Chains A and B, each alone.
Chain A
Amino acid sequence: QVQLQESGPGLVKPSQTLSLTCTVSSGSISSGSFYWSWIRQPAGKGLEWIGHISTSGSTTYNPSLKSRLTISADTSKNQFSLRLSSVTAADTAVYYCARVVVPAAIINRGAFDIWGQGTMVPVSS
């Protein structure tokens, strides 16, 4: 059973860079018809897709975050990571990593089938 676990600092200061890592167990991030995604949710609000990385390492980002965002992968550790620069209070949220299953490699069929438990990241001085 594939499992995902987010890790990272509990607090980030405004203007700094938010960094999170998702460790994947019982499954490889470099094989299969999957993408590996980040999603966030401010307290009391809805879900927002941040971006994803494919098994071959190509990335796609939410246009609203693209200028500040980097998603990368370390296949030796079976981890993928998020870096969001120049953060403000508006970036305060629970951040989830998730696996995107992509039937027949058709990206628009993607569904987020496995999620991490989420990690709360406050942005505050």
Chain B
Amino acid sequence: QSALTQPASVSGSPGQSITISCTGTSSDVGGYGYVSWYQQHPGKAPKLMIYDVTNRPSGVSNRFSGSKSGNTASLTISGLQTEDEADYYCTAYRSSSFYVFGTGTKVTVL
């Protein structure tokens, strides 16, 4: 089962904005449309950052925002901070009745 496609790495300087893409197909991202995003620090469990494409759970900084166009969803981190350095994963529901994760993106703060 093929994963959603994310860039392997994205980097930025403190204070800058970065965007991570998540590309799927009309059977997942483009079809059902509901994408969520997770942050994972080394040795830790993932943490939900965005759900329903654009919504932030309580307690998640408003520096994190999500969007979607067609078969590609995006996570933008604005005002990049050192604690944002982590791996990020997207996920979506696929039409054959299961969830699929993205390949993961390592964010480096320069």
Contacts and interface: CB of A to CB of B under 8 A. Distances in A.
Residue among A49, A60, A112 with max Cβ neighbours from chain B (10 Å): A112
Contact of A64 (B1, B34, B48, B57): B1
A110 B36 CA distance: 8
Interface string A45-70: 01111010000000011111000000
Interface residues of B, number: 27
Interface size class of A (residues with CB under 8 A): 20 to 34
B34 A109 contact: yes
Interface of B: 1, 3, 32-34, 36, 38, 45-48, 51-52, 57, 89, 91-93, 96-104
A112 B93 contact: no
B99 A110 contact: yes
A111 B45 contact: no
Interface of A: 37, 46-49, 51, 60-64, 96, 101, 103, 106-113, 115-118
Given A46-B89, A46-B103, A118-B45, A113 B51 contact: yes
